[in-house]
Structure 1
Amino acid sequence: MNGPTRAVQLSNLAVFQLAWFAAVLGAAHQLPLAGTACVAAAIGWHLLVSARPAREARLVAVACAVGFVIETAVVLQGHVVYPSGQPVPYLAPYWLVALWGLLAIALNVTMRWLRARPWLACVLGAVLGPLSFASGVRLGGAEFVHPEPALLTLAVVWAVLMPVLMRLSIRFDGVGVPETSHG
């Protein structure tokens, strides 16, 4: 499979970062629907430029489903609370579930290099997952009630999930273009 070009990777990274900030800041400023709309637009753009959008859409859907379960478990632990976007108090906020779909659009593009490195995916997940979450807390998208247990939970969850998400990205790769045989 041929992977994405450098220009596509940089575009994906920029769109991902902008949508992430929009979602977190939207939640922090009581505008979670606006932030979620930005995430949906980013995902829509990604699907439009993907070689096989249906496969990428399945990856987004699976990531959102996983995110809903994981983030609801975090909510139920009581270590984190959210300022907005949580119509049902014991379920994950919808804007946070949308961020899992946003992550999915990066798996086959900017994070593609991590596919063949499951141990590195595990380590990076354990470090960068909680770091990203803590950044969202600093921006006001969430609040730690019990920071240490929350960060420990997030580290374990992300250490396990990053290699799993990378495997799913291989299965649902709609970005890489299959090589054609000439002969």
Structure 2
Amino acid sequence: MPRILINLALFQIGWFACVVGAAGGWPWGGVAVAASVAAWHIWRSPRPRPEIRLMLVAAAVGVAFDSLLVAGGLLTYASPVPLSGMAPVWIVAMWACFATTLNVGLRWLHGRTRLATMFGAAGGPAAYLGGEALGGVALSMPAIAALALGWGVIMPLLIAVAVRFDGWPATPVRQ
């Protein structure tokens, strides 16, 4: 199975585990799955150090963005652990897990700023709406616009960071 499909499937497993775990009152289960996905990604990476840096940047950007949305009353997370009023730990884990896709499954966005902007502006809110449908987050109506705007900025920025911190070769390797 190609590594791109494995990468995207593992991210989806991590995302789903985080959302369902939080909705069910067991956020640490999702964190454990997302951390396992990130660990597997690092272990498989030909150059793990840049991938770790990318995950740290994505997690920092994500916790800042999501905490602003929480503070602004635009969204409310299930299982707001460890601190109420901030992005919960399972969201931080989800952002780190998302970073695993930036140089593998979403590599096609490298150097395509406009496409990354559009992809982020559409895909970001779609993911949050999916999380809302599963009970992981409650969104206010203005949240969709804020998410589209935020993700339209964040996605191309994270892609630019991913190009800088790329732990994967540009050409596929045999697995």
Class of the TM-score when normalised by the shorter of the 2 chains: over 0.9
- Which ranges of 4 or more aligned residues in structure 1 deviate by more than 2 Å? none
User: Is 2:67 the counterpart of 1:64?
Assistant: no
Is contact 1:35–1:95 with CA below 8 Å preserved after alignment?
yes
TM-score, structure 2 as length reference: 0.94
Whichever of the two has the greater Rg, that structure is 1
User: Is 2:34 the counterpart of 1:39?
Assistant: yes
Q: Secondary structure at the match of 2:78?
A: coil
Shift of 1:175: 1.1
User: Is 2:3 the counterpart of 1:8?
Assistant: yes
Is contact 2:82–2:88 with CA below 8 Å preserved after alignment?
yes
Kindly indicate whether structure 1 or structure 2 has the higher relative contact order, using CA contacts under 8 Å at least 6 residues apart: 1
Q: How many residues align?
A: 171
TM-score, structure 1 as length reference: 0.90
Gap runs ≥5 in structure 1: 1-5, 179-183
Aligned residue number for residue 72 of structure 2: 77
Distance in 2 between residues matched to 1:65 and 1:80, nearest whole Å: 18
Q: Secondary structure at the match of 2:100?
A: helix
User: Is 2:150 the counterpart of 1:157?
Assistant: yes
Moved more, 169-178 or 126-135: 169-178
Query: 1:171 is aligned with what amino acid?
Result: R
Query: 1:154 is aligned with what amino acid?
Result: L
- What is the percent sequence identity of the aligned residues? 42
User: Is 2:109 the counterpart of 1:101?
Assistant: no
Aligned CA-pair RMSD: 1.2
Q: Secondary structure at the match of 1:13?
A: helix
Query: 1:153 is aligned with what amino acid?
Result: A
Gap runs ≥5 in structure 2: none
Q: Secondary structure at the match of 2:57?
A: helix
Q: Secondary structure at the match of 1:107?
A: coil
Query: 1:27 is aligned with what amino acid?
Result: A
Shift of 1:177: 6.0
Moved more, 75-84 or 41-50: 75-84
User: Is 2:169 the counterpart of 1:176?
Assistant: yes
Is contact 1:130–1:151 with CA below 8 Å preserved after alignment?
yes
